[in-house]
Amino acid sequence: MSLFAIRLSVLALGIALLPGSASAQNVQKKVRRASDRPLKVEVFESTADLKESLLQKDALSFGSARLPALTIKVDSSKTYQVIDGFGASITDSSGWLLYNKLDGPQRKEILQKLFDPVHGIGLSMIRQPMGASDFALDDYTYDDLPAGETDPDLKHISIAHDQAYIIPVLREALAINPRLKIVATPWSAPGWMKTSDSLIDGHLLPTAYGPFAKYFVKFVQAYQVAGIPIYAVTMQNEPLYIPKDYPGMGMSALEQTTFLRDNLGPAFRDAHLKTKIMVFDHNWNFIDYPITVLSDPKAANFAVGIATHCYGGTPAAQEELHSRFPDKGIWMTECSGGDWQTGRILEDQIRLIINSTRHWAKSVVLWNLALDQDHGPHTGGCKNCRALVTVTDTASPSTTEMTADYVAEAHVSKFVVPGAYRIESNTFEQGSLESVAFRNPDGSIVLLVLNGSHEPMSFNVEWQGQYFSSSLQAGSVATFVWRAAPSQHRQE
């Protein structure tokens, strides 16, 4: 077609769509019809007794009417933190169970349920122990030597232990969900780097700061070669707690500041690693620790933010951290459920997710991904922790069962994708309606609502001047998902 003919066609189209023309009126009618259709809301609900788990209910519709009940107002125009994901840890115990106690088809099915965003719940973050934790078959690091020997040049470092079953499981998970982010954490440095000359007890020797930084670099590089990219590291699991029956290591706030500022940060920079560094990795009631570390400007330059745990204090402590360091992220990286929880366990785990994310957490990562019927294997530490998956291996073949933790994570991980923003929503006190809302990159809105009362509750949800109404039984939780109509997307 000639340039002259193209110009004539464009001109004709413009005339056809002039205001008042038949074509323009048809377009306006189509837009009007689309905007007149009630906006549908998908509903996924779980009951306190888990007899209903992520059950899809009949869709609801936005309209102009509302009940004489509490109203949760969602404002998608006001945004807070970006969400990185939800997940758990492939400890040595979890990896061993998944790889050795399940056959190939069983493992594939379980990993799909865990990591597939369509056919599963789309877990998107893993916290990976660097060596043994209390959930391991044996105590180990990547450079263990006989007592009295040292290896400052790390000539003996090797991730061979992990290549037996941890790395194969991680590869399978990444094949299912390539967006999976992995955060790695040591429970202990190799014994020869420590004052105790053991994986148990002790602090990092001053002479070992350089070798320990190199240890991190070589670990990240080795995992990268194995096909496992490490998104971030923390420098020490629970640095203010030194266990007596499993690997651990003390690291004061001043020690961590020095190590980050003078050793680990420069080592990552010089090795051109893209892996991020988080500080702290301990409980909410110890936030003076990350405040000390990040108050050193040189150390803070190497840190992307703060990792927290749930075993002391409350998520509200994260408000103080965000207020002091608004340019640093906050990730909740460990919280285990267990037999100490009684009553409505699902409610406890959903409340953790709601309160953590309402207080700036970019992630909610539970503890073990999989444990056996005896809460193990473990070398010490927690003897009654609960995982997302229970693998019962008392008979062959082993069987698996998804726990309340799996269901709780599912209510967000399946619907809130990495890159989503937490958005403005009101919530009511514990014992009433509790909620949090997100906006995905595609514009869809996700609202998580918990009925923490002991009675059924009806309520309204308001968004952009429209309402829908719903109800929840006591202790039940629902995820509501809706997408703006095409005309509303164009207006925005």
Q: Is the pLDDT of residue 361 over 80?
A: yes
What does the radius of gyration of the chain's CA atoms come to, in whole angstroms?
Answer: 26
Tell me the pLDDT band of 6, cut-offs 50, 70 and 90: very low
Q: Is the pLDDT of residue 487 over 90?
A: no
Residues of the chain with CATH 3.20.20.80: 84-418
Report pLDDT for 37: 76
Q: For the segment 284-335, what is each residue's pLDDT rounded down to a tens digit?
A: 999 999 999 999 999 999 999 999 999 999 999 999 999 999 999 999 999 9
Tokens matching residue 177: 């969900």
Q: Is the pLDDT of residue 9 over 70?
A: no
pTM for this predicted structure: 0.91
Torsion of CA 179, 159, 222, 195, to 10 degrees: 110
Q: For the segment 369-396, what is each residue's pLDDT rounded down to a tens digit?
A: 999 999 999 999 999 999 999 999 999 9
Question: In Å, how far from its chain's centre is CA 133?
Answer: 20
Q: Is the pLDDT of residue 355 over 90?
A: yes
Q: Is the pLDDT of residue 104 over 80?
A: yes
Tell me the pLDDT band of 36, cut-offs 50, 70 and 90: low
Tokens matching residue 101: 């106690």
Beta strand pairing status for 361-368 and 385-386? unpaired
CATH classification (class only), 84-418: alpha beta
When pLDDT is averaged across residues 56-64 and rounded to a whole number, the result is 97
Tokens matching residue 291: 């405040």
From residue 450, how far is each of 97, 349, 352 by CA, in Å? 33, 11, 11
Helices (H) and strands (E) in the chain, counts: 15, 22
Report pLDDT for 484: 78
Q: For the segment 196-249, what is each residue's pLDDT rounded down to a tens digit?
A: 999 999 999 999 999 999 999 999 999 999 999 999 999 999 999 999 999 999
Q: Which option is the CATH number for 40-81+422-491: 3.40.190.10, 2.60.40.420, 2.60.40.1180, 2.40.10.340?
A: 2.60.40.1180
Tell me the pLDDT band of 23, cut-offs 50, 70 and 90: low
Residues of the chain with CATH 2.60.40.1180: 40-81+422-491
- With both helix axes pointing from N to C terminus, report the angle between 104-115 and 166-176 in degrees, rounded to the nearest 10: 50
Report pLDDT for 345: 97
Q: Is the pLDDT of residue 488 over 80?
A: no
When pLDDT is averaged across residues 155-164 and rounded to a whole number, the result is 98
From residue 455, how far is each of 433, 468, 471, 479 by CA, in Å? 11, 21, 11, 19
Q: For the segment 123-134, what is each residue's pLDDT rounded down to a tens digit?
A: 999 999 999 999
